[in-house]
Amino acid sequence: MTLPTFIRETGACARKMRVGFVHCFATHYTKRTFELLAERCDVEFLFFSGGDVHYWPAEHGVQKGSFVYEYLSGFDIVGTRIVPSLPGKLLRGNYDLIVKCVNGRFALPIAYLAARLRHRPFILWTGIWSRIRTPFHSLFFPAIHYIYRHADAIMVYGEHVKSYLVTEGVRPERIFVAPHAIDNGSYSRIVPEAERLEIRQLLGIPQDKKVILYLGRLVTAKGVNILIESLAKVRPTDAVLVIAGKGPEKGALEDLVARHELAGLVRFAGYIPIEKATAYYSLAYVLVLPSISTATFREPWGLVVNEAMNQGVPVIATDAVGAAAGGLLQDNVNGFVVPEQDVSELAQSLKRILDDTELRSRFSKNAKKIINGWNQERMAERFMEAFEFVLSEKHPVRRQGREAQ
């Protein structure tokens, strides 16, 4: 249903729907999606964090864009961000509906309660596709489970998240898949050879060496140690592994490289600025995302997969990566999907792609073709479908809201 159709069929006044969108902060990933939503509806973004969270590199910073937004001040108590002004803003906002991302132990229940007090539809946006098994999450899971089952609609990153939510008792018709996407235009630019040569010189990589790339945080859940163990099995003579990123596991990974005597095959590139990442992808022969499942984490998506594919780079990722479970990475089509923590399978996949140029070329072409359809315009349209669904005349919350006015 298009917006004009929505207005005609629902009897809404001739204005754009007003949306209150509560989110942690705007990133270079979400900026374009938020701008596309702002073109389609009257949306106000309320950000409850300044980007100072453990999973976000401080160097990345937070974004501004062509949308109405406010970064709300707050404070932390035992790891929970408290934003005193959020309840009042939501209750006074006169929104037609409220959208909230799944994170934020304070902000999530506040957004849900505000929607219910104002008799407005509530939409949850989530990429979580398994239960987080820690004492804290086990204690509070009944609350999030209640929100899962009572949200008027749920936006999800991919079919893998939808399947999980169905097992948690969510009705499929209330789940909308908005394929998790990035601004493809930012990552598909043609990178001059001089830019690639500069990286080779910086890291001491000969021209005749292929580049196996890992780009991301150096934390246990990313499984970079599994990648190093796999490299030790392959020991390619025509390739080097570039590990780009920073994190608490760097020292342990360096020790692992030394233990396997791989110093000549591995380069630690450190943190890569956002604007430099595309050049690294253009240099890569293959990207590897070897994430593993832990009690506190299961890779919701892995947007580095999207980024790399825009440069035609094949990807090897584990089945613990959302981009693989969600259908962007397709085994033996645009890369390989291997079992998590399986050193031998990862080593075998690395060897296959390094040794077979025709296979790599086929994967590269498919990567470019598939990623073209995985875009933020499509993502924004799915959001709009969910908005229109919860504001339809037949929706019980809309009827209840009219009766309360």
Q: Give the ranges where 204-302 is alpha helix by DSSP (H).
A: 224-234, 250-259, 274-283
Q: Which of 182, 181, 180 is nearest to 160 (CA)?
A: 180
pLDDT band at 91 (very low <50, low <70, confident <90, very high): very high
Phi-psi map region of 332: left, alpha, beta (phi>0 left; psi -120 to 50 alpha): left
pLDDT band at 395 (very low <50, low <70, confident <90, very high): low
Lowest mean pLDDT among 54-68, 231-245, 356-370, 377-391: 54-68
| 218 neighbors 243 (Cβ within 8 angstroms) | yes
Q: Is the pLDDT of residue 378 over 80?
A: yes
Mean pLDDT for 368-388 is 97
For 181-232, the pLDDT digits (tens) are: 999 999 999 999 999 999 999 999 999 999 999 999 999 999 999 999 999 9
Backbone φ and ψ for 238, nearest 5 degrees, come out as: -120, 20
What is the pLDDT at residue 138? Answer: 74
Which domains does the chain carry? 3-181+376-404 (3.40.50.2000), 184-372 (3.40.50.2000)
What is the pLDDT at residue 134? Answer: 73
Specify the 3-state DSSP secondary structure of 229.
helix
Q: Is the pLDDT of residue 404 over 80?
A: no
* Residue 120 Cα distances to 93, 97, 302, 303, angstroms: 11, 5, 33, 32
11-28 exposure pattern, b = at least 16 Cβ within 10 A, e = fewer: ebeeeebebbbbbbbbbb
What is the pLDDT at residue 405? Answer: 45
What is the pLDDT at residue 8? Answer: 42
What is the pLDDT at residue 140? Answer: 80
306: enclosing H helix or E strand = helix 304-309
Lookup: tokens for 86: 């959020």
Q: Is the pLDDT of residue 11 over 90?
A: no
Lowest mean pLDDT among 301-310, 370-379, 389-398: 389-398
User: CB count, 10 Å around CB of 362?
Assistant: 15
What is the pLDDT at residue 313? Answer: 98
Mean pLDDT for 83-87 is 98
Which amino acid is located at 68 in the chain?
V
> pTM for the complete prediction?
0.92
| 20 neighbors 92 (Cβ within 8 angstroms) | no
For helices 376-390 and 31-40, the axis angle rounded to 10 degrees is 50
Mean pLDDT for 383-398 is 81
% of the chain surpassing 90 pLDDT: 85
